[in-house]
Amino acid sequence: MGLDIAPGLGSTEPVLGSTDCLFAELDRATAKLQPPFAVVELGAFDTNAAILRRNALGKPLRLVSKSLRCRALMRRALAQPGFKGVLAYTLPEALWLAEEFDDVLVAYPTANADALRHLAGDEELARRVTIMVDSVEHLDHLREAAAPVPGRPLRLCLELDMSLDLLGGRVHIGAHRSPVHTPEQALAMAHEIDKRPGVRLVGLMGYESQIAGVQDGPGSAKLKYPLVRLMQRISRAELAERRAEAVAAVRSAADIEFVNGGGTGSVVSTAADPSVTEIAAGSGLYSPALFDGYRSIRPLPAAFFALPVVRRPRPGIVTALGGGWTASGVPGWDRLPKPTFPRGLSYTRTEGAGEVQTPLRGRAADELALGSRVWMRHAKAGELAERVNTLQLVAAGRIVDEVPTYRGEGFAFA
Ligand SMILES: Cc1ncc(COP(=O)(O)O)c(C=O)c1O
């Protein structure tokens, strides 16, 4: 039996201090633009950086690149106190980012032989980029693809699986990530890496998705959230113990530089774990709709997109252009963008968010004219950047910059 707890069913209204003022400001700032376009409000972005920093209890935050997918905003975050290093999502991306960032950890394993060869053949890249492994299979692939040499060792991070197995593994809670689950397995991998030429174990990473990626606040399904909190209490206790043992075991075999854990949704509890030396965070900077349902952290919505109203099929309904900017994960209504302003607009059950048009119903519909904007929030953070070439940066009520997303720079990494 597998019990899969899906992140974020249902969500609360965003905590937008004064929603009407914010959107009046965004409307004024972007009046000359033709929607669709996306904006990031820099005041909220910087406040979120400060919220994450405060919750990290002095531990450095490693910036999760997949949750921003915009180099200009990554620079901005990394210039804030408390942020150090990048957590990238693919090796080709990391090789590109390493042109300007000197500490890039790839959070997921790679099977890209070309990128591995590139990494192994460049001394500076090999110093700046750390790749993820979790099995002997990865190490063998690395040896065959890149033939690393002792004079220029590749930096490896070992991923420890942080999911919760109950009832002897019959109930699995959390993401299916690494096969390395126990301290003994972690130690065996550390020894295996130590035996091999041209590679060096420099870190350990474990992402507790069942805590960081699951809403636990009243916004999540009413009956479910007490259960989620109970599961998370059990999981936090289990993983604090297991992670501490795994870290001690790995440290007995390798001189590791860091232990990475968590994400925006778990900053508070991950920071409190003494075995963790740094915390991953990214989504909290944009604060997409799925983050409205967390109890432990309430960042300010900072990323929005505007769609134009293009027709009015009947009273009470307007139709916006596009709209199906859906998020990854288990399919459901919570993966759709959240109609945010004007308030009270909602999807029709028969159409949801469409490929090229989205009907929206509600009180406000009849007040919207052709060309009016509907402001939306993406359910997830970085996936918004896959929909637009640029982000409009708004501060103090005006556009201060327009910056390219990864897509705008011509990259689609995953
Ligand atoms: C390894 C790792 N760390 C952290 C995160 C979460 O980062 P955030 O929610 O802060 O963007 C993820 C998200 O999937 C992840 O895979």
d(CA 122, CA 144): 17
Residue 133: inside a domain, yes or no?
yes
What DSSP state is assigned to residue 145?
A: H
Distance 251 CA to ligand 1 centre (A): 24
For residue 91, the model assigns a pLDDT of 98
Do residues 267 and 304 share a domain?
no
Q: At what angle do helices 71-78 and 42-55 cross, to 10 degrees?
A: 50
Helix (H), strand (E) counts: the chain: 12, 19
State the pairing for strand pair 357-361/317-321: antiparallel
Do residues 191 and 136 share a domain?
yes
Residue in this structure with the two tokens 């200009």, named with its chain if needed: 72
What DSSP state is assigned to residue 16?
A: -
Residue 127: inside a domain, yes or no?
yes
Do residues 277 and 305 share a domain?
no
d(CA 368, CA 371): 8
Specify the residue with its C-alpha closest to ligand 1, atom 7.
263
For residue 6, the model assigns a pLDDT of 28
Do residues 106 and 233 share a domain?
yes
Residue 239: inside a domain, yes or no?
yes
Nearest ligand 1 atom to the CA of 205 is 1
Distance 261 CA to ligand 1 centre (A): 9
Residue 274: inside a domain, yes or no?
yes
Nearest ligand 1 atom to the CA of 283 is 11
The domain boundary, picked from 281, 310, 326, lies at: 281
Residue 290: inside a domain, yes or no?
no
Do residues 122 and 228 share a domain?
yes
The count of domains in the chain is: 2
What DSSP state is assigned to residue 327?
A: P
CATH at 327: 2.40.37.20
Residue 31: inside a domain, yes or no?
yes
For residue 9, the model assigns a pLDDT of 25
How confident is the chain (414 residues) per 10-residue block, as mean pLDDT?
A: 29 52 95 98 98 96 98 98 97 98 98 98 97 98 95 96 86 91 97 97 94 72 73 88 97 98 94 97 97 87 98 97 97 96 97 98 96 97 98 97 98 96
Helix residue spans in 167-254 (DSSP H): 183-195, 209-212, 224-251
Do residues 165 and 221 share a domain?
yes
Do residues 215 and 102 share a domain?
yes
Do residues 118 and 210 share a domain?
yes
Sign of CA dihedral 66, 282, 22, 353: positive
Do residues 383 and 262 share a domain?
no
Do residues 307 and 269 share a domain?
no
Cβ-count burial of 107 within 10 angstroms (0-12 exposed, 13-18 middle, 19+ buried)? buried
- The token duo for 192 is 């295996």
d(CA 342, CA 347): 13
Nearest ligand 1 atom to the CA of 381 is 11
Do residues 55 and 78 lie in contact, with contact meaning Cβ atoms separated by under 8 Å?
no
Do residues 244 and 314 share a domain?
no
Residue 118: inside a domain, yes or no?
yes
Ligand 1, residues at Cβ distance < 6 Å: 64, 67, 87, 107, 207, 212, 263-265, 280-284, 381
Do residues 141 and 23 share a domain?
no
Among 48, 64, 178, residue to substitute to test ligand 1 (most atoms within 8 Å of Cβ) = 64
CA distances from 383 to 36, 57, 191, 291 (A): 15, 28, 38, 14
Nearest ligand 1 atom to the CA of 67 is 11
Can you tell me whether residue 362 is helix, strand or coil?
coil
CATH at 203: 3.20.20.10
Distance 96 CA to ligand 1 centre (A): 20
Nearest to 353 by CA among 286, 289, 402: 289
Specify the residue with its C-alpha closest to ligand 1, atom 13.
263
User: Residue 212 belongs to what domain range?
Assistant: 89-281
For residue 3, the model assigns a pLDDT of 32
Specify the residue with its C-alpha closest to ligand 1, atom 6.
263
Residue 81: inside a domain, yes or no?
no
For residue 226, the model assigns a pLDDT of 81
